[in-house]
Amino acid sequence: MESVGSLVGSPWIYAVVALSVLLDVFLPVLPSGVLVITAATAAAASTAAYVPDILVLTLCAATASVLGDLVAYRLAWRGGARLDRALARSRRLRAAQERLGAALARGGGGLVVLARFAPAGRSVVSLGAGAARHRARDFLPWSALAGFTWAGYSVALGYFGGQWLGATWLAAAVSVGALLAAGAGAGYLMRKPEASQAR
């Protein structure tokens, strides 16, 4: 926790969190969830002169998540034939496009929320929605719900982990473990329809 103390103790933490969350739709290997949790964990027990506001941290992460989804959606929408061919080669993207289309057509976008927790799920769904030319008014409200749900969950994990276990690496590790478990569960639920269709 000491290594991130100076960053957490300055307003720059919001910019770093926003940039990380915004870009991880394109680079899913970025540890944006870990960063959000670590910032919330350190803030929970911080004695620095400047302590990040948990609500602002949540809003920052959620807004960046929605903006990242929107950018990916618009880029895929305008991607043209080359992007369409690239997406067509990916069985995972094709399956996600089909399920997303069916979910949005039914007026439900739970898949968008679920995908926000799954590894690389946000990228698959945002790019898939844009490439399939789904209407923004059908996709973006669910993207906003997904972003706020994920941000609220991540900040709460870090904050309460810090309250209960102190601003230690153990608290951060337990909180990150809970986030990874949620991601594994979301990934399983996203693959489940494929498995049942294969039988």
Q: What pLDDT is recorded for position 126?
A: 86
* C-alpha–C-alpha distance, residues 47 and 51, integer Å: 8
Token pair listed for 51? 């302590």
Q: What pLDDT is recorded for position 95?
A: 67
* C-alpha–C-alpha distance, residues 2 and 137, integer Å: 44
Q: What pLDDT is recorded for position 70?
A: 94
Instruction: Give the confidence band of 79 by pLDDT, cuts at 50, 70, 90.
Output: confident
Residues 6 or more apart from 26 whose CB is under 8 A from it? 68, 72, 123
Q: What pLDDT is recorded for position 106?
A: 58
* C-alpha–C-alpha distance, residues 197 and 182, integer Å: 24
Q: What pLDDT is recorded for position 199?
A: 38
The predicted-structure confidence for 100-152, as pLDDT tens digits, reads as follows 666 665 555 778 888 888 877 888 888 878 877 888 888 899 999 999 999 99
Q: What pLDDT is recorded for position 198?
A: 38
Token pair listed for 83? 């992007």
The predicted-structure confidence for 181-197, as pLDDT tens digits, reads as follows 777 777 676 565 444 44
The predicted-structure confidence for 174-183, as pLDDT tens digits, reads as follows 777 777 777 7
Token pair listed for 81? 């034939």
DSSP summary character for residue 48: S
The predicted-structure confidence for 38-52, as pLDDT tens digits, reads as follows 888 777 766 555 556
Token pair listed for 37? 């949790």
Across the chain, mean pLDDT equals 76
Half-sphere exposure of 19 (CA within 13 A, CB side): 5
Calculate the alpha carbon distances from 174 to 7, 20, 92, 165, 183 in Å: 21, 21, 30, 9, 14
Q: Is the pLDDT of residue 23 over 70?
A: yes
Q: What pLDDT is recorded for position 148?
A: 95
